[in-house]
């Protein structure tokens, strides 16, 4: 009885490499599609937004993440804060990262 058990344990698994490839191929295809449809466009959008924020200058009209539309009046020296004019006598300081997009460049 002990010999029979050892013989079963030493027998190779049915299917082998072909079955392993057939099992993982659909998962790898789904991961590839997910990367192409979700991750890559998000990376591109993030890079474009970062480039816009780097080019930000005085008199650009911008929209903040909160929905405020204003004109850039000044930038701090460390370039982390932006002062926006949202009305004739209203100025607001916001972080550069709070700017969602540049609506127009007036220069």
Each residue's pLDDT expressed in tens, for the chain with a length of 107 residues = 455 555 555 555 566 888 888 889 999 999 999 999 999 999 999 999 999 999 999 999 999 999 999 999 999 989 899 999 999 999 999 999 999 999 987 65
pLDDT at 104 (0 to 100) = 82
Cα(99)–Cα(86) distance, rounded to whole angstroms?
A: 13
> Which residues neighbour 19 within 8 Å (Cβ) at sequence distance 6 or greater?
none
What's the pLDDT at 79?
A: 83
Domain 57-107 sits in CATH at 2.30.30
Does the pTM of the predicted model rise above 0.85? no
Predicted local distance difference test score (pLDDT) of residue 20: 86
Domain boundaries, given as residue ranges, for the chain: 1-54, 57-107
In the prediction, which pLDDT does 84 show?
Answer: 96
Any idea of the CA torsion for 45, 51, 52, 56, to the nearest 10 degrees?
A: 160
How far, in Å, CA of 55 to CA of 85, rounded?
Answer: 18
Q: What is the pLDDT of residue 38?
A: 94
């Amino acid at each position: 009885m002990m010999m029979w058990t050892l013989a079963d344990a030493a027998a190779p698994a049915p299917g082998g490499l072909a079955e392993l490839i057939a099992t993982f191929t659909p998962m790898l295809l789904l991961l590839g599609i997910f990367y192409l449809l979700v991750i890559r466009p998000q990376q591109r959008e993030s890079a474009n937004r970062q480039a816009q924020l780097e080019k930000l200058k005085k008199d650009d009209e911008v929209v903040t993440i909160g929905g405020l539309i204003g004109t850039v009046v000044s930038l701090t020296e460390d370039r982390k804060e932006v002062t926006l004019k949202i009305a004739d006598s209203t100025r607001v300081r916001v972080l550069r990262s709070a700017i969602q997009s540049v609506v127009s460049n007036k220069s």
